[in-house]
Structure 1
Amino acid sequence: MNHPIDRGTYHPAPPLADKRPLSRGMLALLLAPLAVIWFGSLGMRSLISPDEGRYASIALEMMRSGDWITPRLNGLLYFEKPPMQYWLSAMFLHLFGLNEFAARLWPALAGFLTVLAVGATASRLWGRETGIRTLAIAASMTWIFGNAHFLTLDAGLTLFLTLALCAVLIAENVPATPAVRRNWIWLAWAAMAGAVLSKGLVGILIPGATLVLTCLWRRDFGPWRRMHWWSGLLIFLVLAAPWFVLVSMRNPTFAQFFFIHEHFARYLTKVHQREGTWWYYLPLLLGGMLPWTSALPWLGPRRAGDAPPRGVAPADFLFVHSVFILLFFSASGSKLPSYILPMFPALALLIGLRLQQASPRVLRGHLLVPILVWSIALVASTQSARVASHSTPAEIFAQLGAGIRWGGAVFLAFAAFAWWALRRRGVTLAIVSLALGHLIGMTMVMAAHNAYGQLKSAAPIVSALEPVLRSGAPMFAVGIYDQTLPFYLRRDVVLVDYEDEFAMGQVLEPGRSLDSLDAFATRWEALPQAAAYMDFPSFSALRQRGLPMRVIFQDQRRVVVARQ
């Protein structure tokens, strides 16, 4: 297949004539259903452990205590991450109530703003039609949409890194006065401060490495000299530094734990036990790009003969940004799937750029990849009972399979319309149709995922616990811990024989936990009323001791008991 891009000049040629370009009114009609799909599904699923429960519980604790400086998880000091996510989630919980919609609103809003920033940047650089296409591409990328609908830190980090990336691209490539260019660079510095407050030093490492490596590769340090270093660093420090100073003053152990243990040890060692092979992120990259995975071979750097009139070519900057993120996290001793999320907005911009000269015939060929993937998923979903187990029964997979079938059917219908539009040279209409089909299909699958998510959430057990805990009786987590427990119970639980990420907090505040089953048994027998959450091995061990326990809830993975 021939590459659709004209390589003769730096400035991309105008898009091929589209017989159905979108007007401003049609753009509004695109954004309206996008917003409904994007935000309408946030409260459809229970929060799941570990990440969603952890970050919702920290935000709830911050909202209720009024301490906006020192984060706490289940009442214990928690210094693993900066506070931006906690601040904004606490604010939304206060405004909209203690529910799943409010808990997930910040990552969803961050993802939505990321998509808008990508679309606006493409429009500034390459024209409104390309901007619309790029917005649709970014919105429908599986990894962008999916991570925006789970409560983690990476959607917020990605928003600020994308704003910094886009601000530098516009400053370097859109004709403007020196004052306007300076303002864009200042926005980039402010966005880097937001990224650092979202997830730490990686918030300045990624944009810094992108700038340095691109300048070295192109042998042009003009962009480096135009970064307004003195005023930019002042903006960055004014925004980012105060919290780090305050939390360090109140908690002398913070700096060592946060910067050494959570940055250098996490990256350079396997202390967090999240290892992965060198190709760990490659399947996630391919799947996360859907339904645009087939565009990946187009996204390489410019040819040697291309020379931008000033600054750095967008394709170079976007390519270096994406490759650095992939290689940096692939080399890490700690890997999680969402770590590479910040590269996907840059990939969406590259796809939007490369599609400017793609013919409808070429694009029809690229439709075959997502059609094939969804078709395989649809067929495979009919065999869901084959993967059932004692811990995940067949009815759970049956609900998930039904969601995949409905989602696949919707996507294939939209893909058929996109195919029809391409036969009439409606490139933009086809891209928007494919994007909406994938978004609706993913929403159906995620809604069906709630049946499985209930096995990893404390939501189902709240009604059983409410009569026991109404009088203020303590709640214990024995040997295991569900991160969603404090959020759904609206209270902390007492950890028993459990450390994990609480190790530092337990050392600093030893009286908040019990370190053994013996200590728990003594405490349990002395209480008139209490409840405990545990796995079945712990339940069997305690029952053999003769502890008075009445089962009030159990499923395939856990049991909840009461003493009354």
Structure 2
Amino acid sequence: MGVSSKALAALLLLLGLVWFGTLGTRALIHPDEGRYASLALEMARSGDWVTPRLNGLPYFEKPALQYWIGALAFLGFGVSEFSARLWPGLAGFLTVMLVGFTARRLWGRETGIRALAVAASMTWIELNSHFLTLDAGLTLFLTLALCAVLLANAGPPQARRRWIWLAWAAMGGAVLSKGLVGIVIPGAVLVLVSLWRRDAALWRGMHWLSGAMIFLAITAPWFVLVSLRNPGFSEFFFIHEHFARYLSDVHNREGAWWYYLPLLLIGMLPWTSALPWLFRPGGGGSAPIAPRHLLLVWCAFILLFFSASSSKLPSYILPMFPALSLGVAMAMRDASAEALRRHLLLPAVLWGLAALASTQSARFASITAPPEVLAPLASGLRSGAALVLAGCAFAWWCLGRRRVTAAVLGLAVTHALAVVLLLQAHNGYGQLKSAATLAAALPPSITPDTPVFAVRDYDQTLPFYLRRNVVLVDYEDEFALGQRREPDKWIPTLDEFVARWQAAPRAAAYMGAATWVELHRRGLPMRIVFHDPRRVVVVKP
């Protein structure tokens, strides 16, 4: 017996309430969340929708689509953590819906429901939809391109052109989200599938001329405008931020060749043990190219492409997880209830072991992770484990009665709620990597005209929580290009800062503990208004 429409609508409503209701309940953390929130906030305040600015300085590392959407969210809903995370939250939610829709069109209603449930509860999709990075938006557009090609390949010829046009538009959105990777991934997969199958049908059916026109109509206007207003943009964006980032360790984000393998296994939970299912034969139906082949190549290329890169971050492989969800749901159609029962053992064991380990959280305490921060995390982990174990028990019971879809939904709902509990429990730890608390300590001591300095250190969330930019002192990092273009907006040396501080009637500064010690020894007049083991905030007495 399948799931009724009313029950499905109720579960979707619950998913939406939990998904969006928790976006604004945690402080933004350094670095990515603060960086992209500050970029969008600066765009909303300045009204300049062409040249992105980070802390008031030109910033060209990524395209502008996410900044536009973030700025619109701030203008429409006010400045808050919810508005800052609205786009990745919405992008992740739409990705889940898209996975369910595609599976339903390809394999029927029950498989569509299961695919949606798998995607919504897959750890990496849910986590990355609740943190402010560029990868959720990129993943939405790449998934749309993948699903459009799948549907074009499986549908009637008269509908194929519209799906392919949609795929081209989606690639345009992906490029505006994160750059050339938005077309490199789909393009490479297209070539590899054609070579693997020795069949150019997919290649020939891409409507290259009209598709390229759609792609350029979406991407070209911003790239042309920003290049005209900012000489040197093209070289920095395409050479430094693409080829140098991929081929060298210029951004100091190295990782071993196996860096993404543990993230893949953890990120697939609670469906990790279904990974081998993607290699089972079948799943082609009457389509000229089997969806399984396209999904396999998609996942393999993304994993290998980013594993070979000299610059690695955990969220880079996010675009493969919607494809994994489709593959798991597709293979699940042929799995017996007994086989599905066996696959419940892995999430039950892993969550059970995590709950046991959480009882020893005090052993992991340190200056940067004090016991009062670890205790809520441990409690959230135990609560999450209890939910998942209950979900596994319910799924076991349902499978004994051959109610596969109900079993999938039961495990998916409890696992999704468990991840939400962990996210909420993480906020205490996140506060250690956020300027929310220290920014709240400053307003009584400063006025809107008081300069605020970031001395030899910088927290990306500081401009967001202060609702103003800060003056960088002896700090470059990703600001180097902007500082060269507008050198009057920062202070290159500590000596210049000392002179500026002594001359100012009022001033405030953010710095690391070691810098505070150095300035204190130099006799600089400072009054501490906030401090923790890493950071000090001072004002001029």
TM-score calculated relative to the size of structure 2: 0.99
Q: Distance in 1 between matches of 2:119 and 2:363?
A: 35
Matched residue, 1:37: 18
1:474 matched to 2:455: no
Shift of 1:555: 1.3
Shift of 1:168: 0.5
1:200-236 per-residue CA deviation (whole Å, 9 max, x = no partner) reads 0000010111111001100110111111111000000
1:114-158 per-residue CA deviation (whole Å, 9 max, x = no partner) reads 000000000000000000000000011000000000000000000
Q: Per the alignment, do residues 308 and 219 of structure 1 end up closer, same or farther by CA in structure 2, a change over 3 Å counting?
A: farther
Q: Which amino acid aligns with 2:418?
A: G
After superposition, residues 96-495 of structure 1 pair within 5 angstroms as 96-174=77-155, 176-178=156-158, 180-300=159-279, 302=281, 309-495=286-472
Paired positions, count = 541
Contact 1:302 1:316 in 2 (8 A): no
Contact 1:392 1:556 in 2 (8 A): no
Q: Which amino acid aligns with 1:478?
A: V
Shift of 1:177: 4.2
Match of 2:63, SS state, is coil
Contact 2:284 2:292 in 1 (8 A): no
Q: Which amino acid aligns with 1:551?
A: I
Q: Distance in 1 between matches of 2:281 and 2:66?
A: 37
Out of 414-423 and 500-509, give the one that drifted further. 414-423
Q: Distance in 2 between matches of 1:457 and 1:308?
A: 51
1:477-521 per-residue CA deviation (whole Å, 9 max, x = no partner) reads 111100000001010000111111001111111111111211111
1:38-77 per-residue CA deviation (whole Å, 9 max, x = no partner) reads 1111111000000000000000000000000000000001
* Percent identity of paired positions between Structure 1 and Structure 2: 64
Contact 1:301 1:319 in 2 (8 A): no
Matched residue, 1:13: none
Shift of 1:308: 6.1
Q: Distance in 2 between matches of 1:445 and 1:472?
A: 40
Contact 2:354 2:385 in 1 (8 A): yes
Structure 1 unaligned spans of 5+: 1-19
Q: Which amino acid aligns with 2:440?
A: S
After superposition, residues 12-91 of structure 1 pair within 5 angstroms as 20-91=1-72
Contact 1:478 1:498 in 2 (8 A): yes
Matched residue, 1:503: 480
Q: Which amino acid aligns with 1:405?
A: R
Q: Distance in 1 between matches of 2:92 and 2:369?
A: 31
Shift of 1:26: 2.0
Q: Which amino acid aligns with 2:485?
A: L
Q: Distance in 1 between matches of 2:448 and 2:78?
A: 23
Shift of 1:301: 6.2
Q: Distance in 2 between matches of 1:300 and 1:500?
A: 44
Q: Which runs of 4+ in 1 moved over 2 A?
A: 306-311, 468-471
Matched residue, 1:94: 75
Q: Distance in 2 between matches of 1:392 and 1:58?
A: 29
Structure 2 unaligned spans of 5+: none
1:163-202 per-residue CA deviation (whole Å, 9 max, x = no partner) reads 000000000012x242x21101100000000000000000
Q: Distance in 1 between matches of 2:168 and 2:157?
A: 19
Shift of 1:469: 2.4
Matched residue, 1:518: 495
Q: Per the alignment, do residues 184 and 470 of structure 1 end up closer, same or farther by CA in structure 2, a change over 3 Å counting?
A: same
Out of 460-469 and 516-525, give the one that drifted further. 460-469
Q: Distance in 2 between matches of 1:29 and 1:21?
A: 15
Q: Distance in 1 between matches of 2:315 and 2:128?
A: 7
1:76-132 per-residue CA deviation (whole Å, 9 max, x = no partner) reads 010000011100011111111110001000000000000000000000000000000
Q: Distance in 2 between matches of 1:214 and 1:230?
A: 21
Shift of 1:409: 1.3
Match of 2:441, SS state, is helix
1:410-448 per-residue CA deviation (whole Å, 9 max, x = no partner) reads 221222111111111111001001011111001011101
Matched residue, 1:551: 528
Greater RCO, CA 8 A, separation 6+: 1
Q: Distance in 2 between matches of 1:284 and 1:310?
A: 32
Q: Per the alignment, do residues 370 and 545 of structure 1 end up closer, same or farther by CA in structure 2, a change over 3 Å counting?
A: same
Q: Which amino acid aligns with 1:216?
A: L
Match of 1:333, SS state, is coil
Q: Distance in 1 between matches of 2:378 and 2:54?
A: 35
1:311-355 per-residue CA deviation (whole Å, 9 max, x = no partner) reads 311000000000000000000010000000000000000000000
Q: Distance in 1 between matches of 2:420 and 2:348?
A: 17
Matched residue, 1:9: none
Q: Which amino acid aligns with 1:563?
A: K
Contact 2:473 2:492 in 1 (8 A): yes
Match of 1:534, SS state, is strand
Contact 2:384 2:419 in 1 (8 A): yes
Match of 1:47, SS state, is coil
Out of 393-402 and 192-201, give the one that drifted further. 393-402
Matched residue, 1:6: none
1:7-34 per-residue CA deviation (whole Å, 9 max, x = no partner) reads xxxxxxxxxxxxx311222221221111
Matched residue, 1:16: none
Q: Distance in 2 between matches of 1:529 and 1:311?
A: 71
Q: Distance in 2 between matches of 1:116 and 1:308?
A: 23
Match of 1:235, SS state, is helix
Out of 436-445 and 412-421, give the one that drifted further. 412-421
Shift of 1:464: 1.2
Shift of 1:360: 1.2
Q: Distance in 2 between matches of 1:127 and 1:471?
A: 59
Match of 2:432, SS state, is helix
Q: Distance in 2 between matches of 1:278 and 1:109?
A: 32
Contact 2:471 2:489 in 1 (8 A): yes
TM-score calculated relative to the size of structure 1: 0.95
Shift of 1:557: 1.6
Shift of 1:471: 4.1
Q: Per the alignment, do residues 449 and 385 of structure 1 end up closer, same or farther by CA in structure 2, a change over 3 Å counting?
A: same
Shift of 1:463: 2.3
Q: Which amino acid aligns with 1:255?
A: S
Matched residue, 1:14: none
Contact 2:457 2:512 in 1 (8 A): yes
Contact 1:469 1:531 in 2 (8 A): yes
Contact 2:513 2:533 in 1 (8 A): no
Q: Distance in 2 between matches of 1:480 and 1:240?
A: 35
Q: Which amino acid aligns with 1:129?
A: E
